A and B are shown apart, each in its own frame.
Chain A
């Protein structure tokens, strides 16, 4: 019996190894391609062979084709947007989770509906509107629309659910005000939900392409737009520099994922499954 089970397990392992290879190999070759000697045929590179050449390609990508600047710009607007999302959404989640008030059902329904609202339906008018407000190519212009993240409200609510209502009541008896309770009691208890939301939202915003490409011009350079430019056939640059650029653009979300892997998967599950 036991023998059969372990043999079966080995059999199930095969498809997992194959798909795992499909998942990771493309990421791996960005590393090994960047850190390979120029004399090697890039098409066949599997293992890294030159650390110094890789570093020089990375430096070239950072300094000569705007990748350094794009990384910085994207860091700034992603961080700013995530900060906004955290404040706005945690407040909304706080109100929805702990209180009853007239119109609550309707408002919460709106949040749910907006989660399903396809971006394409309003992105063109949104672009014209932000443009007419004079906010095109500004930090506010790119970030404010992305701060509307119903998904973040939803994820935070999943995490708040575990907090007991009695916390709020006892705090109120002690005379704490509405927003004091939020700030001093609920927010610290929501640490997990906030961190998970922050990680998920950062990864998401880092990868955005359509909106940043519409709303930016010269002042802000999104990393997605920078990468899209250099991989277009009209753009000529050393192939290893190209690959190094992709490696740089991939690193922030990849590192975050590696550090917070459990949390990321947990958050994605919470956002999808509870419906």
Chain B
């Protein structure tokens, strides 16, 4: 690349070099931090997943090949069982939260365009509010709302026959749905804003033409907006997958105990992979950090795989 530039540009070489130097100098702060605090730990983590790296190994680690991977996927021993459970929970959590969250966000994004100017501005601001707040606040509020017996929302659910007398945070499946509930409450604002912005890029002429043909709001949505919104929906869903696979804050806070083995609640009903990685750090067992790194690599593999499948799937559809 450098050679090509030199041949094609006919300015005096000295000043040219100096000019580029300035550009690189301007990029230096960003890229040096990027290199040290992102790229290096990223590569280092992959490498260390093949070693017995632990909190107590002071620079001395041994190469152990695939031992960490074999161990965490073997299903033998507490750490491995826990990791597999966290993956199972993830398998339920991700599709459920995406399906519910995206449906609500899409509906709101379409519906709000039918309101007047004032209504539009007001509700857009309101819908985004939960996303503007930290996740830990959402976790705190909803923990209060879902208190067994007395919580406002758990009582409401009980009235319509859902989870009567259930302690949501500590009961299998319910615990996952509690995380879904909080995540949907929080993330819908973001997805809604992006999707709604997408609808604004659609030419008004199409709607005018449809209106002349006597189309109803519903028909306009169904036959114009949704098909043309497809690329944006795809983007939001892809992004949603990546963040849902890394779910951490809500379940960790809701199931935290003083004991590292309590992370994820009784029976690990609220355990997710990133929490298990963190547990391996806090536990400080031999090969603990190596295992955490291996779990990270597996999670990355899943993220990459799903993203690739999505892109493949999309290409076929378009």
Pick the contact of B38: A122, A182, A242 (CB < 8 A): A122
A268, B194: Cβ atoms closer than 8 Å: yes
Specify which chain B residues have a CB less than 8 angstroms from the CB of A147 in the assembled complex: 33, 37
In the complex, B163 has a CB within 8 A of chain A: no
Q: Tell which of A87, A120, A203 has the most Cβ of chain B within 10 Å.
A: A120
Least distance between A156 CB and chain B CB atoms (Å): 11
Q: Which of A40-64 contact B (CB under 8 A)?
A: 43
B45, A125: Cβ atoms closer than 8 Å: yes
* B142 to A, closest residue via Cβ: A26
Q: Is the interface of A mostly helix, strand, loop or mixed?
A: helix
In the complex, A165 has a CB within 8 A of chain B: no
Given contacts A117-B42, A246-B137, A273-B197, contact A91 B299 (CB under 8 A): no
Pick the contact of B34: A110, A232, A246, A268 (CB < 8 A): A110
B246, A118: Cβ atoms closer than 8 Å: yes
* B37 to A, closest residue via Cβ: A145
Least distance between A240 CB and chain B CB atoms (Å): 11
Q: How large is the interface on B (under 10, 10 to 19, 20 to 34, 35 or more residues)?
A: 35 or more
In the complex, B164 has a CB within 8 A of chain A: no
B281, A246: Cβ atoms closer than 8 Å: no
The interface bits of chain A over 197-240 (1 if a CB of B lies within 8 angstroms of the residue's CB, else 0) are 00000010011011000100000000010011001111000000
- Report the Cα distance A9→B120, complex, angstroms: 11
In the complex, A174 has a CB within 8 A of chain B: no
Pick the contact of B249: A88, A210, A272 (CB < 8 A): A210
Q: Which of A1-21 contact B (CB under 8 A)?
A: 8-9, 12-13, 15-16, 19-20
A275, B135: Cβ atoms closer than 8 Å: no
Q: Tell which of B23, B248, B253, B289 has the most Cβ of chain A within 10 Å.
A: B23
In the complex, A249 has a CB within 8 A of chain B: yes
Given contacts A120-B274, A214-B278, contact A16 B130 (CB under 8 A): no
Q: Which of A95-154 contact B (CB under 8 A)?
A: 95-96, 99, 101-104, 106-107, 110-111, 114, 116-129, 144-145, 147-148, 150, 153
A107, B27: Cβ atoms closer than 8 Å: yes
**Which A positions have Cβ atoms within 8 angstroms of B?**
8-9, 12-13, 15-16, 19-20, 22-24, 26-27, 29-30, 43, 87-89, 91-92, 94-96, 99, 101-104, 106-107, 110-111, 114, 116-129, 144-145, 147-148, 150, 153, 178-179, 182, 203, 206-207, 209-210, 214, 224, 227-228, 231-234, 242-243, 246, 249-250, 253-254, 256-257, 261, 264-265, 268-269, 272-273, 275
A-B contact pairs, 18 of them (CB 8 A): A12-B115, A16-B108, A106-B1, A118-B303, A120-B274, A125-B42, A144-B33, A147-B33, A243-B144, A250-B134, A250-B137, A257-B128, A257-B132, A257-B133, A261-B125, A268-B194, A269-B194, A269-B197
Task: Known A-B contacts: A22-B185, A29-B141, A228-B139. Give 7 more (CB < 8 A).
Answer: A94-B26, A95-B26, A114-B39, A118-B242, A122-B44, A144-B37, A265-B128
**Which B positions have Cβ atoms within 8 angstroms of A?**
1-2, 5, 19-20, 22-24, 26-27, 29-31, 33-34, 37-42, 44-45, 48, 104, 107-108, 111-112, 114-116, 119, 123-130, 132-145, 147, 150-152, 185, 188-190, 193-194, 197-198, 201, 217, 232, 235-236, 239, 242, 245-246, 248-249, 252-253, 256-258, 273-274, 277-278, 281, 289, 292-293, 296-297, 299-300, 303
